[in-house]
Structure 1
Amino acid sequence: MSATHPLWRPFELADLDAVAAVRVDATPQPPVEVVAPDPAWPDQYAVVERRLRAALGDRVLAVQHVGSTAVPGLPAKPVIDVDLVVADPADEAAWLPDLEAAGFVLRVREPDWEEHRMLRGADPVSNVHVFGPGATEPRRHVLFRDHLRADPADRAAYGSFKQRIASERSFADAMDYNNHKAALVYDLYERALAADPAHPHEPHPRTAGPS
């Protein structure tokens, strides 16, 4: 039997109708834009982290800069992605009002996906993904980030692919854009999982999606 990393997830595309159903705030967003790497992104993340910690104090169990803006030299959407861990995302009364008072707007509520919530921040624009202590997704994000930081070839391939698909068409929905890069992201995750010295992993071929 082949070894499987505990953070492995099978390949799948997002159901855009299901995504729309979990949006709390459906305010239209600007079309997806992929821009050149900005050395200011880490400082922008620091601004968001300070706001989160000021709003929640010791209710912040963990906070990480994730996504492409967390990888130096990688083109990205100019949106700071943050993973925030609180004791219980489902207990919104314990954390959400304070984040809203700090200017963050709840946009997504997904109780069926590790109790995920996503809030939008401004100046700098940020997506704050809220999870609980047992969630696997924040660990996947850190592993993916760290792999791209350490692997120049995969970082370059991912960056050029994102720039190409964003230039070829206008994506009004970020999740539609994510679907168009999902096959490559899966393959990059497979390499990241296989390279993790803590867990053996034999890559699993995709069962759907383009080569």
Structure 2
Amino acid sequence: MKIHLSEYNPDWKMQFHLHEERLKYAFKDPSIKIEHIGSTSVEGLSAKPVIDILIGVPSMEELSGAVDALADSSYIYKKVYDEVLPFRRFLIGVKEEYLNLYPNIIEKEKVNIPHGHRTAHIHIVPVTHQWWEDHLLFRDHLRTHPEDRVKYEAVKQNLSKKDWKTGNEYADAKTECVLQILNKAKRNPNN
């Protein structure tokens, strides 16, 4: 599969806010935090046009309840990833016209939702987990450090020219660059 990156689109902010409103309505819980993360949240950065959303719940015990709150929505739960990252629940927002093609819960890896059918990737984690902090720190660092944004952009563009078995393979290939930038951000959190 090819990874198709789009130039930064200011509409991605609006798309996030539409998801945010739907999610707030579904949760009806002010303790749940909703953040726009990933490349679509960083002005000037190219991205797959799928909005990454980080949802923070107060504790691990509330992960299942958060998934249940989205059961009758346009978000499909990829339960298959629970074993790999037990502290995270992952859902995929699907365009309305494609929803009937997929089960509400995907328990086997072989069920693939093409990126063209997706609207969002939802990551639900406890706000106390390092995953929450790292993703926000990485986003904020890229927003304020153009030299690292350019470096990350170059890696993404280079990797997008290759063929991948899955989107996860592409994501794994970015890991070294992501960790370098994240470690730099951790060493200089106020810089």
Q: Shorter-chain TM-score: what band?
A: 0.7 to 0.9
Alpha-carbon contact 2:127-2:133 (below 8 Å) kept: no
SS of the residue corresponding to residue 125 of structure 1 reads strand
Paired residue for 1:43, among 14, 18, 38? 14
SS of the residue corresponding to residue 163 of structure 2 reads coil
Alpha-carbon contact 2:76-2:94 (below 8 Å) kept: no
Structure with bigger helix share is 2
Q: 1:58 to 1:186 in 2, by over 3 A?
A: same
SS of the residue corresponding to residue 124 of structure 2 reads strand
CA deviation string 1:35-67 (max 9, x = no partner):
211111111110111111111111652110011
Matching of residue 137 in structure 1 with residue 131 in structure 2: yes
Matching of residue 122 in structure 1 with residue 94 in structure 2: yes
Number of residue pairs aligned between Structure 1 and Structure 2: 168
Aligned ranges for residues 29-178 of structure 1 at < 5 Å? 31-58=2-29, 61-91=32-62, 94-108=65-79, 109-110=81-82, 113=85, 115-123=87-95, 125-167=119-161, 169-178=162-171
Alpha-carbon contact 1:45-1:65 (below 8 Å) kept: yes
The alignment's C-alpha RMSD in Å is 2.2
Structure 1 counterpart of 2:5, which letter? Answer: V
- In the alignment, the residues of structure 1 paired with residue 85 and residue 141 of structure 2 have an alpha-carbon distance, to the nearest angstrom, of 24
Q: Look at both structures and tell me which one has the larger radius of gyration over its CA atoms.
A: 1
**Structure 2 residue ranges without an equivalent (≥5):** 96-117
Report the CA distance between 1:165 and its aligned residue: 1.3
Q: 1:91 to 1:188 in 2, by over 3 A?
A: closer
- The structure showing larger relative contact order (alpha-carbon pairs under 8 Å, at least 6 residues apart) is 1
Consecutive aligned runs of 4 or more in structure 1 exceeding 3 Å deviation: 87-93, 111-114
